[in-house]
């Protein structure tokens, strides 16, 4: 996968192979196949504002209303050589996915980071597993906030190239004396568990106390990242009670309850974690 300087010269780095999504079918003779070429681009403020903002809203779910998401998108776009967007119809289109890292200490006085740091600190205090995070954020250490999101139907195989390029880009930036020498990386993500639908109130009452608390990952790579974590855990969204709607689970007997997720990784282990993601998710050759 191309490094930052190659991507700056060429404009984009294409995956070595086409990623193929197969349509499910019970009949072997009725088999649909879709070939999609994914392309990786640097952030472009002239093109990527709305796509980045939309994906940020998806990442923070109902709690996106607590932040100035537009200002956060602008901050991400301002560091064009750190992070990637993934597109399928050329550079001029909206991103289907993105990954980036922001220096929380470097941007500590900017409104979106003030809001986000306060939010992260408050949420970390609700889960004992995340107890180390508030002190770390208050310590003055340079923590890299990793933000990543993609459309729901995007294949997880796009994740390894994004992480590999992010590491290359940060290494190049550090060589150029830019402020990306982190002590830790803090990944913000989402998980979910299934809950009983509220469509049938009487049925819910009969099954009260039988909710399935099995944890699921919107991003499969998070399960790999946790193996390298100094701390990780989930938290409840602040505004979740205002947004639960049966329309989101009309086609399921069970509903979905999303939760926020944090994964804290020491910088010295981040490259190994990214390699593990590649080993786990890269498509077979």
Handedness of CA 148, 150, 277, 213 (dihedral sign): positive
- Mean pLDDT for the stretch of residues 97-105: 97
Q: Are strands 84-87 and 97-103 parallel, antiparallel or unpaired?
A: antiparallel
Average pLDDT over residues 64-80: 96
- The Cα–Cα gap between 42 and 84 comes to 5
What integer is the mean pLDDT of 146-157? Answer: 94
Residue-level pLDDT at 206 = 53
Q: What's the CA gap between 148 and 90, in Å, rounded? A: 20
Mean of all residue pLDDT scores within the chain: 84
Q: Which of 143, 224, 142, 225 is nearest to 185 (CA)?
A: 143
Mean per-residue pLDDT for 56-60? Answer: 96
Q: CA-to-CA distance for 214 and 72, rounded, in angstroms? A: 32
* pTM given for the model: 0.83
| The pLDDT value given to residue 203 | 54
Of 66-70, 168-172, 179-183, 201-205, give the lowest mean pLDDT range. Answer: 201-205
Residue 122 CA: distances (Å) to CA of 25, 66, 101, 152, 186: 46, 13, 21, 28, 15
Among residues 31, 35, 32, the alpha carbon closest in space to that of 15 is found at: 35
| Confidence tier at 129 by pLDDT (50, 70, 90) | very high
**Whether residue 7 has pLDDT greater than 80:** no
Lowest-pLDDT range of 92-101, 209-218, 222-231:
209-218
The interaxial angle of helices 49-60 and 69-77, nearest 10 deg, is 120
The answer on pLDDT for 5 being more than 90 is no
> Which of 133-147, 182-196, 218-232 has the weakest average pLDDT?
182-196
Report, as an integer, the average pLDDT of 56-83.
95
The model's confidence at residue 199, banded by pLDDT at 50, 70 and 90, is low
Give the pLDDT of residue 259: 93
Mean pLDDT value across residues 14-21: 41
Q: How confident is the model at residue 273 (pLDDT cuts 50, 70, 90)?
A: very high
pLDDT > 90: percent of the chain = 68
């Amino acid at each position: 996968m191309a490094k930052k300087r190659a991507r700056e010269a060429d404009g984009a780095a294409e995956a070595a192979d086409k990623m193929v999504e197969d349509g499910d079918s019970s009949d072997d003779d009725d088999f649909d196949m879709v070939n999609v070429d994914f392309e990786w681009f640097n952030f472009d403020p002239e093109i990527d504002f709305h796509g980045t903002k939309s994906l940020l809203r998806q990442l923070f779910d109902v709690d996106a209303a607590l932040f100035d998401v537009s200002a956060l998108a602008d901050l991400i776009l301002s560091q064009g050589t750190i992070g990637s967007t993934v597109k399928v119809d050329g550079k001029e289109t909206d991103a289907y996915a993105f990954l980036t890292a922001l220096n929380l200490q470097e941007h500590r006085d900017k409104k979106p980071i003030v809001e986000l740091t306060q939010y992260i600190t408050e949420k970390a205090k609700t889960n004992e597993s995340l107890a180390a995070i508030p002190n770390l954020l208050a310590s003055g250490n340079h923590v890299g906030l990793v933000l990543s999101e993609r459309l729901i139907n995007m294949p997880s195989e796009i994740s390894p190239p994004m992480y590999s390029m992010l590491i290359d880009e940060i290494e190049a930036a550090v060589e150029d004396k830019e402020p990306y020498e982190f002590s830790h990386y803090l990944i913000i993500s989402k998980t979910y568990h299934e809950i009983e639908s509220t469509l049938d109130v009487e049925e819910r009452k009969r099954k009260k106390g039988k909710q399935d608390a099995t944890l699921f990952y919107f991003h499969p790579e998070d399960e790999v990242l946790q193996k390298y974590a100094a701390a990780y855990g989930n938290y409840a969204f602040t505004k979740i009670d205002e947004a639960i709607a049966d329309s989101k689970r009309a086609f399921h007997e069970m509903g979905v309850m999303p939760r926020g997720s944090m994964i804290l990784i020491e910088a010295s282990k981040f490259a190994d974690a990214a390699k593990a993601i590649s080993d786990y998710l890269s498509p077979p050759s």
